[in-house]
Amino acid sequence: MSPARRATIEFLLDNLVWLMLIVVLAVFSLTVPNYFQFGIFANIFEQSTFVGVMAIGLAIVIIAGNLDLSVESTAALSAMVTGMLFSSSGVGMGIAFEPAWLMPVVSLLIALAVGGIIGFINGFFVTRVGMSAFIVTLASFIWVRGLVVAISGGRSAQNLAPPIRIIGMEDILGVPLLAWISVGCFVIFAFVMAKTPFGRYITLVGGNQDATFRAGINSNRILWTSFVVAGVLAGLAGWLLAIRTSGATANLGVGMLFNAFAAVVIGGVSLKGGIGKLPGVYAGVLLLYSIHTAINLMGLPAHFTQMILGGLVLAAVLLDTFKLRLREKLL
Amino acid sequence: MKIVRRTFIGAAIAGLTLATSAYAQDKGTIYYMVPTLLDEFQTESVSAIENFMGQVGYKVATLNADNKTDVQQGQMDTAILTKPKAIILAAVDFNALAPYIEKAREAGVPVMIFDRQITSTVSDFTSVAGTVEIGHVAAGEIQRLLTEKNGSVKGKVLQVLGDPGDPYTLDIQKGFEEMMADYPDVEIITKPAMQWEASNAGSIVADQLLANPDIDLIFVHAAHLAVAAVASLESAGKKPGDVLLVSSNGAPVGLDLIRQGWEQVEVEQPLYAQAAALAMFADKVTNGEELVPGTYDVLGLKSELTIEDWGPDLKIPGAAITPENVDEARFWGNLQAPEGPIEPVQ
């Protein structure tokens, strides 16, 4: 095989998920009434924000060779804390202060801190106590959601303070600001993962932790940091979610973990660790929400929605598996 | 040292005596099987049932099924083994719990159905507003709102269900759609918000506003979904009243949306009355006495007890909450639990 052909095939296989996204968008645009319009594409960007930001953290932990099942509950806790502090109805305390521009900053820092603390706890048990990440984060998935119910009493916080809520209402070039925030996160973390020592260490630790340790890299610290980063990003997702829904309910974010996992896998991140790139994950998230949006617009009976969505996710993952086999065969 | 020991033993005996005497005054324990604690109606139902049952002498142990049928089935098995005075069941799945109701009754444990009606088997008492009836009330109000807006019952309605696996939302849908079937000029677009998750409802509303900009009214099956729907309306540049909004269950957030002008009607499930009725009939149910059909006054609501194929059934009328009556204390969404003792039915 000529080097040029090999490079072309490699490029196509590396970016297959983007190709899939384009095909899916084209098919839906041609077949689903009202799908092909700028507003719908802006909606897809906006709706993929929360799972997208969550998926970045999840992907980093998975590339580092672990799992984090707690991101959904962490986002819910961060949303509820934001809602309770800065909403004026329901269980909201209605905290407000001047200058108003400081409110989004303070609420964001609190949300990130909430996520960071959960990530820190997860990392501690995995790296210091030596417990399985699956068990530790599964426990966090349960107790953190329990904490959401406990602190809210199962009630909602509503009417988020306007200086914070405005972030969910503004747009730049017709695309909601929330979507730009998730795009920004992907750009920053894609750079971090590809161009910084931390990113390279994450990939190395995920590929072979023992070898990395022998090479003089503090692999435990890298792992622990990956959990904190995942927690902080889940906290950010929760903050954005609270802004989007103008508060928080006790079941906010339920089901997002599985969407985040689907996006990560569709995006080409290996669950065995050491393999994966964040741009692919973003394509995976966009692909998922393109499907969600198409289902929202199609005149399908309500009961079939989950079935169709599951089938399409399976098809996407099968295509990804096919891609890996093709790569082995051709390259 | 001896003094300390004696004081400790004395306190322990005194505590034990007090506890025993308190227990002696109790009529026993009743289990309340709550389907989930992730919504405000269910959370408040726990407080109301514990409060009202406490007033008539029963201790309530609440078990949360986290919206999982198998978990609730396991909880029923466990509860039956402890031989409680009765079980109050708000079923996650109406049909899947039927065999467990039969099992409890065979074991001599009466079963009272709360909020979510089960008609496929016999139970000892049912206290419901009726989910199908909630759909009927909503349909009546929606017909009125469409007439006020468009001159007759015509227009486009977006119906946002809860989770499509939950019979509760499907019953409301059934009731709503059977009442709307007489109006062919109303187009109903139905979409489910998976797992009753608010941001899913918000996404549906955002997408549909683009695909169907002429939507006249949005009907969501729970007030917490209405909050996300309003957020999407707001993001789309809509003002209160531009798109009519109707919701069900009467949660505090829904009442707030009515006060803000975003929502026009909230169909209430009369939570306090439903819970109070359980306490009113608890003695008769636990003693296996016959329930007499007729009209009963439950917290001021005239409620009809009938004997159906599935047992004694008390229907408490659900109310339409509008801007005119939203502040009335009788609505549970105002979180003012009724004062005054519950009187058991003689």
**Mind listing the pLDDT tens digit for each residue in B312-332?**
999 887 889 999 999 998 899
Task: Tell me the nearest-neighbour CA distance from B145 into chain A, angstroms.
Answer: 25
Chain B residues with CB under 8 Å of A147 CB are none
A 10 A CB-CB count for A121 gives 20
Chain B residues with CB under 8 Å of A255 CB are 194-195, 197, 200
Burial (0-12, 13-18, 19+ Cβ within 10 Å), B262 = buried
Give the pLDDT of residue A275: 86
- Given a cut of 50, whether residue A94 has pLDDT beyond it is yes
Q: pLDDT-based confidence at B20, cuts 50/70/90?
A: very low
Rounded Cα distance between B317 and B265, Å, is 16
Q: Which residue has the tokens 């009546």?
A: B140
Of B39, B190, B200, the CB nearest to A154: B39
Inter-chain touch A34–B212, beta carbons under 8 Å: yes
Inter-chain touch A245–B197, beta carbons under 8 Å: no
Of A46, A156, A176, the CB nearest to B253: A156
Closest chain B residue to the Cα of A79, Cα to Cα: B199
In this structure, what token pair is assigned to residue B7?
């004081």
Contacts (Cβ under 8 Å, ≥6 apart) of B80 = B87, B100, B103, B104, B107, B109
* Strand partners of residue B113: B89, B126
In this structure, what token pair is assigned to residue B10?
């004395």
Inter-chain touch B198–A89, beta carbons under 8 Å: no
Q: pLDDT-based confidence at B225, cuts 50/70/90?
A: very high
Inter-chain touch A246–B230, beta carbons under 8 Å: yes
* Nearest residue to B201 (alpha-carbon basis) of B162, B236, B233: B162
Size of interface A-B (CB pairs under 8 A): 124
Inter-chain touch A250–B198, beta carbons under 8 Å: no
Of B194, B207, B252, the CB nearest to A293: B207
Interface check A297 vs B, CB under 8 A:
yes
Task: Tell me the nearest-neighbour CA distance from B90 into chain A, angstroms.
Answer: 17
Of B39, B40, B194, the CB nearest to A255: B194
Interface check B39 vs A, CB under 8 A:
yes
- Given a cut of 60, whether residue B177 has pLDDT beyond it is yes
Q: pLDDT-based confidence at B194, cuts 50/70/90?
A: confident
Contact B47, B273 (CB under 8 A): no
Rounded Cα distance between B33 and B45, Å, is 11
Of A43, A158, A255, the CB nearest to B253: A158
Contact B155, B146 (CB under 8 A): yes
Instruction: Identify the residue among B207, B225, B271 best suited for mutation to test binding to A, counting A beta carbons within 10 A and taking the highest.
Output: B207
Closest chain A residue to the Cα of B236, Cα to Cα: A169
Rounded Cα distance between A14 and A280, Å, is 8
- Given a cut of 50, whether residue B22 has pLDDT beyond it is no
The length of chain B, given as a count of residues: 346
Rounded Cα distance between B313 and B315, Å, is 6
For B157, the enclosing helix (H) or strand (E) is strand B155-161
CA distance to B103, B128, B153, B319, B332, per residue, from B299 (Å): 32, 14, 35, 14, 12
In this structure, what token pair is assigned to residue B218?
């949005």
The amino acid at residue A329 is: K
What are the tens digits of pLDDT across the range B277-287? Answer: 999 999 999 99
ipTM of the complex: 0.80
- Given a cut of 90, whether residue B266 has pLDDT beyond it is yes
Question: What angle separates helix B271-286 from helix B40-55, to the nearest 10 degrees?
Answer: 40
Task: Tell me the nearest-neighbour CA distance from A145 into chain B, angstroms.
Answer: 10
Give the least confident one: A26-35, A269-278, B56-65, B244-253. Answer: A269-278
Interface check A47 vs B, CB under 8 A:
yes
Contact A84, A262 (CB under 8 A): no
Interface check A174 vs B, CB under 8 A:
no
Question: What angle separates helix A278-297 from helix A256-266, to the nearest 10 degrees?
Answer: 120
Contact A43, B206 (CB under 8 A): yes
Could you tell me the residue ranges of all domains in chain B? 26-129+273-317, 132-268
- Tell me the pLDDT of chain A averaged across its residues: 90
Task: Specify the DSSP class assigned to residue B68.
Answer: -
Q: Is the link from the previous residue into A99 a cis peptide, with omega within 30 of 0?
A: yes
3-class state of residue B95 by DSSP: coil
Interface check B62 vs A, CB under 8 A:
no
Give the least confident one: A160-169, A238-247, B23-32, B81-90. Answer: B23-32
Inter-chain touch A241–B199, beta carbons under 8 Å: yes
**Cα B49-B297-B337 angle, rounded to 5 deg:** 35
- Given a cut of 90, whether residue B124 has pLDDT beyond it is yes
Inter-chain touch B207–A50, beta carbons under 8 Å: no
Q: Domain B26-129+273-317 is in which class?
A: alpha beta
First to last CA, chain B: 56
The number of angstroms, rounded, from the C-alpha of A285 to the middle of its chain's C-alpha atoms is 8
Give the pLDDT of residue A331: 64
Quickly list DSSP for A14-57.
HTHHHHHHHHHHHHHHHHSTT-SSHHHHHHHHHHHHHHHHHHHH
Q: pLDDT-based confidence at B263, cuts 50/70/90?
A: very high
What are the tens digits of pLDDT across the range A58-71? Answer: 999 999 999 999 99
pLDDT > 70 fraction of chain B, expressed in percent and rounded: 93
Rounded Cα distance between B163 and B224, Å, is 13
The number of angstroms, rounded, from the C-alpha of A82 to the middle of its chain's C-alpha atoms is 19
* Strand partners of residue B243: B240
What are the tens digits of pLDDT across the range A144-181? Answer: 999 998 999 888 888 899 999 999 988 999 899 999 99
Q: Domain B132-268 is in which class?
A: alpha beta
Contact A58, A260 (CB under 8 A): yes
Could you tell me the residue ranges of all domains in chain A? 3-330
Task: Tell me the nearest-neighbour CA distance from B249 into chain A, angstroms.
Answer: 14
Interface check A207 vs B, CB under 8 A:
no
Task: Tell me the nearest-neighbour CA distance from B228 into chain A, angstroms.
Answer: 5
Task: Tell me the nearest-neighbour CA distance from A158 into chain B, angstroms.
Answer: 7
Rounded Cα distance between A232 and A236, Å, is 6
Rounded Cα distance between A313 and A307, Å, is 10
- Given a cut of 90, whether residue A249 has pLDDT beyond it is no
Mean predicted confidence (pLDDT) in A114-133:
97
What are the tens digits of pLDDT across the range A172-227? Answer: 998 999 999 999 999 999 999 999 999 999 999 998 888 888 888 899 999 999 99
Interface check B191 vs A, CB under 8 A:
yes
Quickly list DSSP for A89-147.
EET------SSTTHHHHHHHHHHHHHHHHHHHHHHIIIIIS---HHHHHHHHHHHHHHH
Closest chain B residue to the Cα of A244, Cα to Cα: B231
Interface check A76 vs B, CB under 8 A:
no
Give the least confident one: A125-139, B206-220, B292-306. Answer: B292-306
Mean predicted confidence (pLDDT) in A34-52:
92
Task: Tell me the nearest-neighbour CA distance from A159 into chain B, angstroms.
Answer: 9
The length of chain A, given as a count of residues: 331
Give the pLDDT of residue A214: 86
- Given a cut of 50, whether residue A232 has pLDDT beyond it is yes
Instruction: Identify the residue among A244, A295, A300 best suited for mutation to test binding to B, counting B beta carbons within 10 A and taking the highest.
Output: A244
Inter-chain touch A168–B38, beta carbons under 8 Å: no
Chain A residues with CB under 8 Å of B230 CB are 246
* Strand partners of residue B32: B62, B88
3-class state of residue B296 by DSSP: strand
SS3 content of chain B, % helix, strand, coil (to 5): 45, 20, 35
A 10 A CB-CB count for B71 gives 16
Rounded Cα distance between A117 and A120, Å, is 5
In this structure, what token pair is assigned to residue B64?
């949360």
Q: Which residue has the tokens 């949005």?
A: B218
Rounded Cα distance between B159 and B212, Å, is 13
Contact A61, A234 (CB under 8 A): no
Instruction: Identify the residue among A45, A169, A254 best suited for mutation to test binding to B, counting B beta carbons within 10 A and taking the highest.
Output: A254
Task: Tell me the nearest-neighbour CA distance from B193 into chain A, angstroms.
Answer: 9
- Tell me the pLDDT of chain B averaged across its residues: 89
3-class state of residue A289 by DSSP: helix
Interface check B263 vs A, CB under 8 A:
no
Q: Where are the beta strands (DSSP E) in chain A?
A: 87-90, 157-160, 171-172, 175-176, 247-248
3-class state of residue A132 by DSSP: coil
Mean predicted confidence (pLDDT) in B138-148:
97
Mean predicted confidence (pLDDT) in B183-199:
93
Chain A residues with CB under 8 Å of B204 CB are 296
Numbers of helices and strands, H then E, in chain A: 14, 5
In this structure, what token pair is assigned to residue B19?
């506890």
One CATH from 1.10.3470, 3.40.50, 3.30.70, 1.10.1220 for A3-330: 1.10.3470
3-class state of residue A172 by DSSP: strand
Chain B residues with CB under 8 Å of A90 CB are 252-253, 256
Chain B residues with CB under 8 Å of A73 CB are none
Rounded Cα distance between A159 and A248, Å, is 9
Please tell me if the domain spanning B26-129+273-317 has the same topology as the one spanning B132-268. Answer: yes
3-class state of residue B30 by DSSP: strand
Interface check A158 vs B, CB under 8 A:
yes
Contact B146, B217 (CB under 8 A): yes
**pTM of this prediction?**
0.81
* Nearest residue to A231 (alpha-carbon basis) of A131, A133, A101: A133
- Given a cut of 90, whether residue A309 has pLDDT beyond it is no
Q: pLDDT-based confidence at B130, cuts 50/70/90?
A: confident
In the sheet that B125-128 helps form, which strands lie side by side, from edge to edge? Answer: B58-64, B28-34, B86-89, B111-114, B125-128, B311-315, B301-308, B294-298
* Nearest residue to B252 (alpha-carbon basis) of B36, B8, B39: B39
Task: Tell me the nearest-neighbour CA distance from B42 into chain A, angstroms.
Answer: 8
Q: Which residue has the tokens 């506890």?
A: B19
